């Protein structure tokens, strides 16, 4: 049986503290950085708002650019009157005459603005190209025109498609399986290209299955934890895809923020790093931790049975390694569960309807297998 098709055998593992000397200081996985003034695109979103918090805590002036299409002002409400934070409601791409003045004087650009989720990317691919590719190009050109020294990009591990090897290294082949994955990978390629051609100091972080408070709760069927927590609040069973033995490298948002801070001080440009725990967890295990009944729905085409980051490179080069294990992360998430009360409650029937395009274009057939 090939490695691609083999059911992963998981061993018990936990994130551990970095063993290399790196930019980490103090306890709790905090990293010092060289950031003085930062532009954070997508700063009102899930990861972006947590990154803004960390930067402000370090005395950094933060300029947030977000069109609030998927982000929320409520994610930044606690920073609304902070003297170091300014928020600009803009969509990328936008005219350079509007963007360059906002970038001028910044030491770093953290480009997190993007459209996410698989199904809408299948249904509206050009919107994803405009935001995830053209928007990235606009940010790169503004950084170049404003002479911003460093540009960090939130890339996606979805670029690997269904990997041939686990854990998956950064030099593994990239085979994006749907438009979201493709557009995020094209954005990554553009960032690396601008670094090579124009000398922009760039770093790309391929994020694995990020979860935590403030994660998306839009009307689009998507991120698993948002779906499960809304179902838990409503007393409904968790909708588990397939047999639930598929595993994901769930990475807590504070660890991802620490990875960006570590990368912000990296002296070398042009690098690409995986950001994950290196410890996949099955969906069945997630439901055990959350507690409650589950119902099974059909496995979807184009999804890997496993995501598993090889994190040796980022640990060696940046001194970063995830510190939050899945049990601790879910405990933090459950403490903030009220933030998911307005999320839609998905059922097997509504999921079937919402994923018709997925099955139509990526193969297979839809239908509910409740158990």
Distance CA 310, CA 289 (A): 25
Please check the confidence at residue 233 and state whether its pLDDT lies above 70: yes
Please check the confidence at residue 206 and state whether its pLDDT lies above 70: yes
Active-site residue identified among 153, 160, 178, 180: 180
Q: Which residues contact 22 (CB under 8 A, 6 or more apart)?
A: 31, 262, 318, 319, 320
Please check the confidence at residue 219 and state whether its pLDDT lies above 70: no
Q: What per-residue confidence (pLDDT) applies to 1?
A: 36
Q: Which pLDDT band, with edges at 50, 70 and 90, does 277 fall under?
A: very high
Please check the confidence at residue 74 and state whether its pLDDT lies above 90: yes
37 - beta bridge partners?
A: 61
180 is a catalytic site residue: yes
Please check the confidence at residue 47 and state whether its pLDDT lies above 70: yes
Q: What per-residue confidence (pLDDT) applies to 302?
A: 84
Please check the confidence at residue 237 and state whether its pLDDT lies above 60: yes
Count CB atoms within 10 A of the CB of residue 359.
17
**Reported CATH class of domain 37-216+250-279+305-325:** alpha beta
Please check the confidence at residue 221 and state whether its pLDDT lies above 80: no
Query: Mean pLDDT in the chain?
Result: 89
Distance CA 139, CA 225 (A): 30
Please check the confidence at residue 25 and state whether its pLDDT lies above 90: no
The mean pLDDT value for 24-28 works out to 31
What global pTM score does this model have? 0.91
- For residue 206, give the nearest of 164, 162, 153 by alpha carbon: 153
Strands of the chain (E only): list them: 37-41, 61-65, 85-88, 108-111, 150-156, 201-207, 210-211, 238-241, 247-248, 251-252, 271-275, 281-282, 294-297
Q: What per-residue confidence (pLDDT) applies to 4?
A: 38
Distance CA 164, CA 160 (A): 9
Domain boundaries, the chain: 37-216+250-279+305-325
Per DSSP, the three-state class of 203 is strand
> Are 344 and 322 in contact, with CB atoms under 8 Å apart?
no
281 - beta bridge partners?
A: 248
């Amino acid at each position: 049986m090939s490695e691609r098709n083999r059911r992963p055998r998981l061993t018990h593992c936990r994130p551990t503290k970095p063993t290399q000397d790196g930019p980490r200081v103090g306890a709790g996985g905090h990293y010092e950085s060289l950031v003085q003034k930062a532009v954070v695109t997508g700063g009102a979103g899930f990861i972006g708002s947590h990154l803004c918090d960390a930067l402000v805590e370090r005395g950094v002036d933060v300029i947030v650019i977000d069109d609030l299409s998927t982000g929320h002002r409520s994610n930044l409400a606690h920073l609304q009157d902070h003297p170091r934070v300014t928020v600009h409601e803009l969509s990328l791409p936008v005219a350079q005459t509007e963007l360059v003045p906002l970038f001028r004087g910044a030491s770093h650009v953290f480009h997190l603005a993007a459209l996410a989720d698989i199904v809408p990317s299948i249904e509206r691919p050009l919107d994803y190209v405009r935001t995830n590719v053209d928007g990235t190009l606009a940010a790169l050109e503004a950084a170049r025109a404003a002479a911003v020294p460093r540009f960090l990009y939130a890339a996606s591990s979805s670029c690997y498609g269904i990997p041939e090897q686990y854990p998956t290294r950064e030099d593994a082949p990239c085979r994006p399986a749907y438009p979201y994955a493709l557009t995020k990978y094209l954005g990554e390629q553009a960032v690396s290209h601008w670094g090579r051609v124009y000398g922009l100091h760039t770093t790309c972080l391929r994020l694995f299955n990020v979860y935590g408070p403030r994660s998306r709760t839009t009307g689009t069927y998507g991120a698993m934890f948002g779906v499960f927590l809304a179902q838990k609040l409503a007393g409904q069973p968790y909708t588990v895809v397939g047999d639930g033995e598929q595993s994901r490298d769930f990475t807590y948002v504070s660890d991802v923020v620490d990875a960006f801070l570590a990368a912000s001080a990296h002296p070398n440009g042009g690098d690409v790093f995986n950001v994950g725990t290196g410890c996949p967890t099955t969906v069945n295990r997630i439901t055990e931790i959350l507690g409650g009944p589950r119902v099974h729905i059909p496995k979807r085409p184009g999804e890997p049975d496993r995501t598993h980051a090889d994190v040796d490179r980022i640990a060696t080069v940046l001194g970063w390694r995830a510190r939050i294990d899945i049990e601790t992360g879910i405990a933090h998430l459950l403490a903030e569960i009220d933030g998911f009360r307005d999320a839609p409650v998905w059922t097997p029937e509504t999921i079937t309807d919402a994923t018709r395009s997925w099955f139509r274009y990526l193969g297979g057939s839809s239908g509910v297998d409740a158990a």
